[in-house]
Amino acid sequence: MNILQERCVACDKELPYTILSSVGQLCDTCKKQGLFRKKLIITGITRMERGNICVSGIDPETWRFVRPVYPGGINRDFVMEGATQIIRHFNLVEMEFIKYDPQHIHHNEDWIVNENFAPKYIRHLNNQEIIKVLEKMSISNLNEAIDRMDKSLFIVKARGIIRIWDEHQYGKFKVRINFVDYSRNIFEKIPVSDLLVLAKVRWMIRNGKRYSYEMMNIFNNNPFRYIRIGLTREFHGQYWKQVTALITIPDMFDGETFADYEKKLGDQV
Ligand SMILES: [Zn+2]
């Protein structure tokens, strides 16, 4: 679906002309620019094939989602600075990008990252700031938002999670969720690709905890509850939904990261 593009996708300056397009547009200055530094509010770190990860965030200058991509995939080391995981939910992090590289259906958030520039940690947002981000960026009707075909990343205001369970598929540990969005659409068997949920569930299973009950209880009783959804690339003719984060304020994970759990587990999810 084409949208009237009025502002530069990189610097948010008003364009001298408006254009109907399914993807963002760069102003003339940004078009000439070789590299873009952007501060991102991190909202997702997910599991990909071959030990790679996918990172996504929000650009607080343009209030657009940005997905740093790299040909061949992003390595796990990218999120770490020494032993600290600096790319984690609601950290503000600076990265450098080579160019805006949008796809015309759904995936118009892609930016090719400069892998020679190590991401710089700036600070962690406080709860009041996070609530503002969520209120500004969230949607209440996921089906309606997906039908527009102009995004692949969504923060969905949720009524609740109805079921969480784990299974093994092709030798891979999987977690799935049934949930209801704020407009009462029901979504079933949505796989979780969020590294934090995957690692935490594995840790709780290992310790004999009833993770399903415990996580639903914390999530559903929180006044601020959101589910981050990402769409996959086209696969068998569809763009599949994945849960890329469970977000509550206060944080249902008590500030722990997937790297913390993987350290305790002694391996990767
Ligand atoms: Zn610009």
pLDDT per residue over 93-120, tens digit each? 999 999 999 988 999 999 999 988 999 9
When pLDDT is cut at 50, 70 and 90, the band that residue 159 belongs to is very high
> Looking at residue 211, what is its pLDDT?
95
When pLDDT is cut at 50, 70 and 90, the band that residue 76 belongs to is confident
Report the separation in Å between the CA atom of 32 and the middle of ligand 1, taken as the mean of its atom positions. Answer: 10
What does CATH list as the number for 3-124?
2.40.50
How many other CB atoms are found less than 10 A from the CB of residue 196?
27
Per 3-state DSSP, the chain is made up of helix, strand and coil in percentages (nearest 5) of 20, 45, 30
Could you report the per-residue pLDDT of 168-181, keeping only the tens digit for each? 988 889 999 999 99
One-letter amino acid of 202: R
Q: What distance in Å separates the CA atoms of residue 134 and residue 257, rounded to the nearest whole number?
A: 20
Report the separation in Å between the CA atom of 60 and the middle of ligand 1, taken as the mean of its atom positions. Answer: 14
Which CA distances in Å does 64 have to 60, 83, 190, 238? 8, 30, 24, 24
Tell me, what DSSP letter sits at residue 125?
P
Report the separation in Å between the CA atom of 106 and the middle of ligand 1, taken as the mean of its atom positions. Answer: 22
One-letter amino acid of 192: V
Q: Regarding predicted confidence, which is higher, 22 or 204? A: 204
* Structure-block tokens of residue 269: 């999810």
Report the separation in Å between the CA atom of 13 and the middle of ligand 1, taken as the mean of its atom positions. Answer: 6
* Structure-block tokens of residue 235: 């696969």
Could you report the per-residue pLDDT of 46-55, keeping only the tens digit for each? 988 888 899 9
Report the separation in Å between the CA atom of 39 and the middle of ligand 1, taken as the mean of its atom positions. Answer: 15
Report the separation in Å between the CA atom of 4 and the middle of ligand 1, taken as the mean of its atom positions. Answer: 16
Return the C-alpha torsion angle 5, 92, 139, 160, nearest 10: 160
